[in-house]
């Protein structure tokens, strides 16, 4: 997917993000925490994006395809020092699902995480039945290393998640052997 790119999100994206989230509310509901109504407003997105950037421990990216935002890929809980790690999360518009957009966006954020942001490790979790998301991670070199019972409250219930990780040296090695 050569026309898929990522870029750091900014408060100026709040209106477009809110509209995209409203359009995908039903599509994302089984995979998301319960959300307040304000989450789906321009003001709510402006606040969320601003707070995220100000906190300094997140690198939220817009997924852009053909010049429009079609989702988000986030590095959260970014820790430097001896840990050099972050959590990875992502979602795409229903119209972008199943076309490789998420895989391309995850590949791009991995490259940024390891080469630009200097991280050593990325971790991601998926609901046990979210096979599509597991495939996105596996295509990008993530390895499942465990199962966390009642890990996150998704759709109003504590739900189990498979945990995946990718280390920078494994990614660099796979990248050098594929070139």
Cα Dmax for the chain: 48
Whole-number pLDDT of residue 179: 67
Q: What pLDDT does 109 receive?
A: 98
Chain CA centroid to CA 163, Å: 14
104, 4 contact by CB (below 8 A): yes
| pLDDT attached to residue 2 | 58
Phi first, then psi: give them for residue 86, nearest 5 degrees.
-155, 160
Asked if 13 contacts 49 with a C-beta cutoff of 8 angstroms, the reply is: yes
pLDDT at 139: 97
Q: What is the pTM of this model?
A: 0.95
Q: Which domains does the chain have, with CATH numbers?
A: 4-178 (3.40.630.30)
Segment-wise mean pLDDT, segments of 10 residues, the chain, 179 residues: 88 98 96 96 97 93 96 96 97 94 98 98 98 97 98 97 98 88
pLDDT confidence of residue 162: 98
């Amino acid at each position: 997917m050569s026309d898929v790119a990522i870029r750091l999100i900014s408060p100026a994206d709040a209106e477009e993000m809110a509209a995209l989230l409203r359009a995908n509310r039903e599509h994302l509901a089984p995979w998301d925490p319960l959300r307040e109504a304000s989450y789906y407003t321009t003001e709510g997105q402006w606040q969320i994006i601003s707070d995220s950037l100000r906190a300094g421990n997140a690198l939220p990216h817009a997924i852009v395809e053909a010049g429009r935002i079609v989702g988000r890929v986030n590095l959260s809980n970014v820790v430097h020092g001896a840990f050099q790690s972050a959590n990875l999360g992502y979602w795409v518009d229903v119209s972008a699902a199943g076309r490789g957009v998420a895989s391309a966006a995850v590949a791009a954020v991995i490259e940024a995480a390891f080469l630009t942001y200097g991280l050593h490790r990325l971790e991601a979790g998926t609901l046990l039945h979210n096979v599509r998301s597991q495939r996105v991670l596996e295509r990008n070199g993530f390895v499942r290393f465990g199962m966390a019972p009642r890990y996150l409250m998704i759709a109003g219930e504590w739900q189990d998640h498979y945990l995946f990780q990718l280390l920078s040296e494994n990614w660099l090695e796979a990248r050098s052997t594929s070139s």
